[in-house]
Amino acid sequence: MGRGITPSVTAVLKIAREHVDAMIAHAREDHPDEACGVIVGPEGSDVPTRLIRMTNAERSPTFFRFEPQEQFALYKEMSTTGEEIVVVYHSHTATEAYPSRTDISLASEPQAHYLIVSTAESDASRGDGERTLLPDRRRCGHRGRDRRHGIALESRSLAELASHTGETRCQ
């Protein structure tokens, strides 16, 4: 699997509904540019407790990069509060919620889960702008479709991104 990283398919990341709603709202507000942010939690816990919106320094519909001063301030704060990044999220504005090659190559937080929110239009769009997206049962655990919002979400750990087999078995 390269680098000795073995993806876990038994761990389940639980994100509070308010955080999911906040990520979706952030993605919609920043559209057509990619939105980005993090959810931090107690160090070593793998429990996301506090969502922090970050500024996309690139202001781009196809790429995100945290604004450097915000990122520095975040790391400084986390070092004093005993927190770490549990989730890194960003949006895709024209493609599905699936990691791009760039997403994979730039993923740098080994303990974090990477979550993508897609605001792209789909063939299933209805006239009222709300989309009904069906679940993709080929992958397990972290991938889901939020029918209420019509937004596709996908979360992967860095290990899963590193292996990037495209198929995962649920246990």
| pLDDT (mean) for 33-42 | 98
At residue 150, does pLDDT exceed 60? no
Q: At 165, is the pLDDT very low, low, confident or very high (cuts 50, 70, 90)?
A: very low
Over residues 28-47, mean pLDDT: 96
- Does some domain include residue 25? yes
Is 70 exceeded by the pLDDT of residue 71?
yes
2 domain-assigned:
no
**How far apart are alpha carbons 94 and 4 in whole angstroms?**
34
Q: pTM here?
A: 0.71
Question: What CATH number is given to the structural domain containing 151?
Answer: 3.40.140.10
Dmax over Cα atoms in the chain, in whole Å? 49
pLDDT digits (tens, 9 = 90+) for 99-149: 889 998 999 998 999 999 999 875 444 333 333 232 232 222 333 433 333
Question: What does the pLDDT read at residue 143?
Answer: 39
Sign of torsion over alpha carbons 164, 46, 38, 34: positive
Confidence at 6, pLDDT banded by 50, 70, 90: low
Pairing, β 36-42 against β 50-54 = antiparallel
Query: What is the pLDDT at residue 37?
Result: 98
**What total of structural domains would you count in the chain?**
1
Provide mean pLDDT across the span 32-36.
97
Residue numbers of the domain that contains 116? 17-163
Residue 57 counted as domain residue: yes
In a domain, 143, yes or no: yes
Q: Is residue 143 within 8 Å of residue 166, measured between CB atoms?
A: no
Alpha-carbon gap, residue 82 to 92, rounded angstroms: 31
C-alpha to C-alpha distance for 163 and 119, rounded to whole angstroms: 26
Residue 56 in domain = yes
Is 116 part of any domain?
A: yes
